[in-house]
Amino acid sequence: MGHVTYYSQKTLHIEMKGRGSRDITSQIESLVTSSGIDIGMCHVFIQHTSASLMVCENADPDVRVDLETFMSNLIPDGDPMFVHIDEGSDDMPAHIRSVLTQTEVTLPISQSRLELGIWQGVYLWEHRHHAHTRKIVVTIHGQSSK
Amino acid sequence: MGHVTYYSQKTLHIEMKGRGSRDITSQIESLVTSSGIDIGMCHVFIQHTSASLMVCENADPDVRVDLETFMSNLIPDGDPMFVHIDEGSDDMPAHIRSVLTQTEVTLPISQSRLELGIWQGVYLWEHRHHAHTRKIVVTIHGQSSK
Amino acid sequence: MGHVTYYSQKTLHIEMKGRGSRDITSQIESLVTSSGIDIGMCHVFIQHTSASLMVCENADPDVRVDLETFMSNLIPDGDPMFVHIDEGSDDMPAHIRSVLTQTEVTLPISQSRLELGIWQGVYLWEHRHHAHTRKIVVTIHGQSSK
């Protein structure tokens, strides 16, 4: 039928200044745009266990303020229940936040674009207080009519 | 080896009457059945951030009653800690429930069927109290021997 | 370009002695190594709703001790709020832990290896107190230059 199957992979390096979330949709989308894929998948994988990914509402920044408040209340830094404390009072909470959210997300591709809902963005969520450069492996695959 | 790689994509529109979960396994499975795929993946993506997906026990409806109770206790509607409140007292809890569960799930395909466990179903979980029509993008890919 | 698209699928049977988590990275990696894939995906799916998967820090076992403590506090066995209690006081907590963590994870493959971060491992997390044999479907696909 003249279809070609396509796979490609790139690693993004994203600097985070400390705890908080950042929209990385456009950086992912730009990898998708150049692929020429008609139907396919975009897989986003963070190579860390104290930062994570989420698909979240992208209109009102207060949504992510409230998410931060919720997580800080649910998993307080320095909670005396934790025994893994050598790397700081925010380290074990960071691992738990990572486990409760996403290490990887797969997004649909249609016509060389991410097929997201209007109000959806992809966020990197840093859970440590110190600055970190986070590595994200993006793998794209699909079918091109070329 | 006579193998063909196959990609296809469809959008489902599912009406939800308000907060609660609904089994959508058969609607997904019917897309898989017609694919002719021997080995592959079925990716299910919800284009919203106040409704989500989960793979859950499908035998006793009380499991989902208890999940609802648990989530309502964990993230109370109208909690005064939230600042994103313009869209209603259930809106921020809906976003948090979405982040704590799944925006997308990938399911294995074997012999043109979803390779689920006996007690597993795929559920759309509406987190808002009002009725909504939710859009779900299903992307199927794999290898067919035809 | 001399590229071949490859799909394969295998089921692992893993014995768990009761609640707790176990590193299954090497068992997954050994399926990837023999694939000959240059760029691709490894999908890991657990066919159960009272055990789950997570990508977690693999250096200090105390991280998983603390995760267990956190989950046991968040979702106490035998909590009187639950109505689904016929299968034991740990059954409904197991379903909730499953919903809050992962039923499936997709991992990137590069050069016939899992492209994980240095401190990442893939864990099967048993949430029931009794011993169970858990089935995990591993589907690998990608592009090989052979």
> Does the CB of B45 have a partner CB in chain A at under 8 Å?
yes
pLDDT at C1 > cutoff 60: no
Residue B142: is it exposed, middle or buried by C-beta count within 10 angstroms (0-12/13-18/19+)? Answer: buried
pLDDT at C59 > cutoff 90: yes
Residue A18 is predicted with a pLDDT of 98
Q: CA B122 to CA B133: how far, in whole Å? A: 17
Band (C3; pLDDT cuts 50, 70, 90): confident
Q: Indicate whether this model's pTM tops 0.95.
A: yes
Residue C2 is predicted with a pLDDT of 62
Q: Which of A56, A100, A143 sits opposite B95 (nearest CB)?
A: A56
Residue of A nearest to C98 (CA): A100
> Does the CB of A70 have a partner CB in chain B at under 8 Å?
yes
pLDDT less than 50: residues of chain A: 1
- What are the angstrom distances between the C-alpha of C30 and each of B52, C34, C140? 33, 7, 12
Q: What is the mean pLDDT of residues B138-145?
A: 94
Residue C34 is predicted with a pLDDT of 87
List of chain B residues whose C-beta atoms are within 8 Å of the C-beta of residue C90 = none
pLDDT tens-place string over residues B51-80: 999 999 999 999 999 999 999 999 999 999
Residue A146 is predicted with a pLDDT of 63
Residue A2 is predicted with a pLDDT of 62
Handedness of CA A41, A42, A46, A52 (dihedral sign): negative
> Does the CB of A129 have a partner CB in chain C at under 8 Å?
no
Band (B3; pLDDT cuts 50, 70, 90): confident
Residue A3 is predicted with a pLDDT of 80
Residue B95 is predicted with a pLDDT of 98
> Does the CB of C104 have a partner CB in chain B at under 8 Å?
yes
Residue B143: is it exposed, middle or buried by C-beta count within 10 angstroms (0-12/13-18/19+)? Answer: buried
Residue B2 is predicted with a pLDDT of 62
